[in-house]
Amino acid sequence: MDFIRQEREDFRNLFKRVKRRDFSGTGGQIIKNSSYQLTTNIVSKVGALIFTAIIARLLLPDLFGLYSLALGTIVFFAAFTDMGLDSAMVAFLSKLLGKNKEKKAKSYFNYLSNIKIILILLVSLILLLSAYFIANNYYNKPIFFALIAGGLYIPLSTFSRFIETLYLANNNFKFPMFKEIIFQLVRFLIIPLVIFLLFKTTISGEKVIAILILGLSFSYFISLIYLWTKAKKTMPFLKLKEKRLLKNEKEKIKKFTLPLAAIVLSGVFFGYIDMLMLGHFVTGEFVGYYGATFSLIGSATVILSFMATALFPIFVRTSGKKLNLLFKRMATISTTISLLAVIFTFFAAKYIIIIIYGSEYLQAIIFLKYFSVLLLVGTLIGLHSTYFVSQEKTRKYSYLLITTTFLNIILNYLLITNGLKIGMQEAVLGACTATIISRFVFLGLLAFFRKR
């Protein structure tokens, strides 16, 4: 009862501070950051959900499955441009700007940006060179032109997110929110109209998907221009003269990013192995069912995980008992909200699918019921991940993720191939089960080692 009264009092104080617009101190910063981040996540994921629903209805399961597979493959490659650089940008610049060391912050920004550009160009080139083999040999599906379009999608989308980390490091969550609004508006105005016009022609489905990827690339281009223009106006340290980093400072970055690179590589497979394997084993139609439900759950999870992103700069500057107390309170709030979302999604799965995707996607209902539990697991994983990275416990985090990634790959292969002996639906259910088990194991390991 004392615990319940304490939580009730915390919520009451929270609403009082919001009403008074009192954003002073650490608590006020958390409220302010969380408010902007929540708005950003809602705009991003509700926008993504509506956008996906429109695209899914227009393309229908088979073509939508090919679109999901192509975009998933491109995003898989794009993840290799991170290699811990985004987190390094937030971690190092947040500390330096917090200590008013703006010249040093500019040096770190330039150094990290140069590495980022090299990675982006290299990954884009690899995708272009391997596009034919991936489309025609591994998947054996008509997505070659879409993968070629990914050569433009990768630099625009990844550098846009990289510039966004500048704002997060500076505890400025306002402009990323506006950037997300612009991105959503641009793609809503362009892409559905393009699909509608293309379907009036005799253009092939493969080329339609490629044009969609190009449309998304243009949307990222517009949002990137906005972010960079505002950054130059609101962040004076970007105009300061650069000083080359010392050898020990570069080593510090290397020491920080190497475990994160392992995390990224493992996380890429952890997050996309199910889609990549399904693309090889099942038809585009069932990839579409799987992609529709996974996209829905992914969007909802990110919305529910808004506190994890907003807490990162706070966690970086906090330690000891204060950090543990803050983590426990945030975990309690996240768990409560996520459990309610799980229950609602499970029992309303049929109506959610019909309303969002239409009756053509009724076979996806069972997949959504399976995935509903990920709303809880994914939210808590996000919070634990923020804790580990912010406290520079990246080596331990990488070991846990690598271990779980191997488990995920093995489970996906075994459950998909065995399910395929019965039918396509059972193969997809195998992928769902593998994903759920591996994420539960990962969360358990994170929780266990956080306390040690």
pLDDT tens for the chain, 452 residues: list them: 343 344 445 445 545 554 555 545 455 556 666 677 777 777 877 888 888 888 888 888 889 999 999 999 999 999 888 888 888 888 888 777 777 777 888 888 888 888 899 999 999 999 999 999 999 999 999 999 999 999 999 999 998 888 888 887 777 777 888 888 999 999 988 888 888 888 778 788 888 899 999 999 999 999 999 988 888 887 777 777 777 777 888 888 888 887 777 777 777 777 788 888 998 899 888 998 998 898 888 878 877 776 665 665 566 566 667 767 777 777 777 788 888 989 999 999 999 999 989 889 999 999 999 999 988 888 888 887 777 766 767 677 778 888 888 898 999 999 999 999 998 999 999 999 999 999 999 988 888 887 76
Structure tokens at 81: 């441009």
Q: Is residue 398 in a domain?
A: yes
Task: Say which residue the tokens 């570069």 belong to.
Answer: 250
4 domain-assigned: no
User: How far apart (Å, rounded) are the C-alpha atoms in residues 194 and 199?
Assistant: 9
* Residue 14 counted as domain residue: no
- Parent domain of 203: 26-450
Residue 186 contacts residue 48 (beta carbons within 8 Å): no
What is the rounded end-to-end Cα distance, in angstroms, of the chain? 29
From the list 297, 260, 257, 272, the residue with the least C-alpha distance to 405 is 272
Domain presence at residue 20? no
**Which residue type occupies 80?**
F
Which element (helix H / strand E) includes 191? Answer: helix 174-198
| Residue 365 near residue 287, CB atoms below 8 Å | no
Radius of gyration of the chain (CA): 22
Q: Which pLDDT belongs to residue 349?
A: 92
Tell me if 8 is assigned to some domain: no
Q: Return the residue matching tokens 């069932």.
A: 286
Alpha-carbon distance values, 435 to 166, 169, 255, 378, 396 (Å): 33, 32, 31, 11, 22
Q: What is the pLDDT of residues 382-401, one digit of tens each?
A: 887 777 766 767 677 778 88
pTM: 0.79
- Is residue 13 domain-resident? no
Domain assignment of residue 435, yes or no: yes
- Total of domains in the chain: 1
422: exposed, middle or buried (Cβ count in 10 Å: 0-12, 13-18, 19+): exposed
| pLDDT tens per residue across span 343-365 | 999 999 999 999 989 889 999 99
- Report yes or no: 66 and 204 within 8 Å, Cβ to Cβ: no
Half-sphere exposure of 160 (CA within 13 A, CB side): 24
Establish if 176 belongs to a structural domain.
yes
